């Protein structure tokens, strides 16, 4: 049994981790901690009770319960994980960090987008970006995994095969990749959800548009590594009135005329051994209803035949759907843990409420 710990259990990602790990046959939860809402209270999840302790990030990270953990999941806000990771690393713990603190390799770029100095740039070099479909072998050996963000997961999986195979036309003067993403309200965190629901309106709207969203450098970093050259994106995120689920639409131009059938064949080859990527057949498009409460990513395509490009370029639309809290956060974190410890990647995830059935919700009993 892998001894696991979750710090930040009262947030949406932490709660989802608890639900998954509580039913994972290969793990034992030995520590749950939260800075604000836990103070030796009890958390009930999937019919089991767990004690939860209020931790002090400055002085008491390696408490008695946490000392026995082999792997620690950090489900904390950006900036908070930064100081905790070195303490855990010095204690020889394996860490899966769900914040953005160790995703961006360039410390200066992190500082620009997150408005704070990165105190441990040497650890940025050691962190492995936790997207299994691209970095499985590195994840297997990693001590520190930087779990990807939800938007980056949906975007990178959508177009990685095209970039890897050199099929996208790169325009030096404009962004060659245009992305429109829509997220359920849980993507904004618990405080955002409370505020959204208090307004009692079903608003859909764009936010942090005009190149302001902090996931942009993370996406561009990974797409550029895949392509072997600098890739810039034009990205607009939206909030939609549903609890969870994420849908990304990506617009690119291909270097040559290509049919949908050829694209599907290439993607099916690229993802042929991936248990959580579902490449859809022609004329079938992704839906969030099919992936919510699962660790799946659905990918579908549309070749734009509306206008004639005279054989030069093919406009292609790639669409992906994930659950922002599962494949976009906690499910992917558990998938990474499974890889790190040589387990089947599907362990604990093959039955994360497939088909949309609601799992037992974790609750804090004061």
Q: pLDDT at position 186, please?
A: 84
Name which of 230-234, 274-278, 361-365 the model is least confident about.
Answer: 361-365
Task: Identify whether residues 253 and 195 lie together within a single domain.
Answer: yes
- CA angle at residue 96 from 94 to 100, to 5 degrees? 135
**Residue of 52 and 7 predicted with greater confidence:** 7
**Residue 233, pLDDT score:** 96
Average pLDDT over residues 67-76: 94
What is the pTM assigned to this prediction? 0.91
Question: Can you give the pLDDT at residue 310?
Answer: 58
- The per-residue pLDDT for 215 is 96
pLDDT band at 325, cuts 50/70/90?
A: very high
pLDDT confidence of residue 350: 77
The enclosing domain of 179 has a CATH number of 3.30.360.10
Q: Average pLDDT of 311-320?
A: 86
Residue 300: predicted pLDDT: 97
User: Which residues contact residue 220 at a Cβ distance below 8 angstroms, ignoring those fewer than 6 apart?
Assistant: 230, 231, 232, 233
Question: Are the CB atoms for 27 and 55 separated by under 8 Å?
Answer: no
138 and 40 within one domain: yes
Spatial separation of the C-alpha atoms in residues 243 and 183, rounded to whole Å: 9
Residue 307's pLDDT band (cuts 50, 70, 90):
low
Q: In which domain, by residue range, is 205 found?
A: 151-322
> pLDDT for 91-144, tens place per residue?
999 999 999 999 999 999 999 999 999 999 999 999 999 999 999 999 999 999
Greater confidence (41 vs 101) lies with 101
Q: Quick one: 168 and 261 in the same domain?
A: yes
Exposure string of 192-209, with b = 16+ CB inside 10 Å and e = fewer, is: ebeebeeeeeeeeeeeee
| Same domain as 338, residue 261 | no
Which one of the listed residues 45, 52, 150, 297 is annotated catalytic? 150
Is residue 138 located within the same domain as residue 260? no
> Could you give phi then psi for residue 281, rounded to 5 degrees?
-75, 170
240-268 per-position pLDDT tens digit: 999 899 999 999 999 888 888 999 999 99
Work out the average pLDDT over 178-195: 85
**Cα separation, 109 vs 218, whole angstroms:** 10
257 against 323, higher pLDDT: 323
Average confidence (pLDDT) over 272-288: 96
Task: Tell me what the mean pLDDT of segment 360-365 comes to.
Answer: 31
pLDDT exceeds cutoff 50 at 359: no
Quick one: pLDDT at residue 158? 98
Question: Do 206 and 135 reside in the same domain of the chain?
Answer: no
Q: Are residues 266 and 208 in the same domain?
A: yes
Specify the CATH number for the domain of residue 9. 3.40.50.720
What is the predicted pLDDT for the residue at 57? 67
Residue 363 has pLDDT above 60, yes or no: no
**Residue predicted with more confidence, 189 or 185:** 185
133/209 same-domain check: no
Q: What is the pLDDT of residue 64?
A: 65
Mean predicted lDDT score pLDDT of the chain = 88
Instruction: Let me know whether 132 and 110 are in one domain.
Output: yes
Residue 366 clears pLDDT 70, i.e. is over it: no
Q: Do 77 and 224 have their domain in common?
A: no
Same domain, 178 and 50: no
Instruction: Work out how many domains the chain is built from and give that number.
Output: 2
Lowest mean pLDDT among 25-39, 65-79, 284-298: 25-39
- pLDDT at 279 exceeding the cut of 80: yes
Query: Among the listed ranges 33-37, 130-134, 181-185, 232-236, which one has the minimum average pLDDT value?
Result: 33-37
Distance from C-alpha of 269 to C-alpha of 252, rounded to nearest angstrom: 20
Q: Do 95 and 179 fall into the same domain?
A: no
Per DSSP, what are the bridge partners of residue 5? 31, 72
pLDDT of residue 357: 30
Half-sphere exposure of 141 (CA within 13 A, CB side): 4
pLDDT of residue 46: 73
Determine how many CB atoms are found less than 10 A away from the CB of residue 96.
27
Asked about 150 being catalytic, the answer comes back as yes
Please give the structure tokens belonging to residue 171: 């325009």
């Amino acid at each position: 049994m892998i001894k696991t710990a979750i710090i930040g259990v009262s947030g949406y990602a932490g709660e989802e981790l608890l639900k998954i790990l509580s039913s994972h046959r290969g793990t034992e939860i030995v520590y749950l901690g939260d800075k604000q809402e836990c103070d030796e209270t009890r958390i009930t999840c999937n019919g089991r009770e767990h004690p939860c302790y209020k931790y002090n990030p400055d002085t008491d990270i390696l408490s008695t319960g946490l000392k026995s953990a082999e792997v620690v999941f950090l489900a904390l806000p950006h900036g908070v994980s930064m100081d905790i990771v070195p303490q855990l690393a010095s204690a020889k713990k394996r860490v899966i960090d769900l914040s953005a603190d160790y995703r961006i390799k360039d410390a200066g770029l992190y500082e620009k987008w997150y408005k704070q100095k990165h105190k441990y740039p040497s650890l940025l070099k050691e962190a492995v970006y936790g997207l299994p479909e691209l970095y499985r072998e590195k994840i297997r050996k990693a001590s520190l995994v930087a779990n990807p963000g939800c938007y980056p997961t949906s975007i990178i999986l959508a177009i990685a095969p095209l970039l890897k195979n050199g099929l996208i036309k790169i325009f030096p003067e404009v962004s060659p990749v245009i992305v429109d993403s829509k997220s359920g309200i849980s993507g904004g965190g618990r405080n955002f959800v409370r505020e959204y629901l208090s307004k009692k309106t079903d608003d859909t709207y764009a936010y942090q548009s005009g190149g302001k969203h902090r996931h942009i450098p993370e996406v561009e970093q990974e797409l550029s590594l895949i392509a072997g050259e600098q890739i810039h994106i034009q990205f607009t995120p939206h909030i939609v009135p549903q609890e969870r689920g994420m849908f990304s639409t990506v617009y690119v131009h291909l270097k040559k005329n290509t049919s949908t059938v050829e694209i599907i064949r290439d993607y099916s080859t690229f993802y042929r051994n991936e248990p959580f990527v579902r490449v859809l057949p022609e004329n079938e498009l992704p839906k969030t209803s099919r992936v919510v409460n699962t660790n799946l990513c659905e990918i579908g395509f549309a070749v734009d035949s509306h206008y004639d490009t005279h054989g030069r370029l093919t406009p292609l639309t790639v669409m992906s759907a994930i659950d922002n809290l599962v494949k976009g956060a906690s499910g992917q974190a558990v998938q990474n843990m499974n890889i790190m410890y040589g387990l089947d990647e599907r362990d604990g995830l093959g039955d994360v409420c497939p088909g949309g059935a609601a799992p037992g919700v974790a609750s804090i009993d004061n």
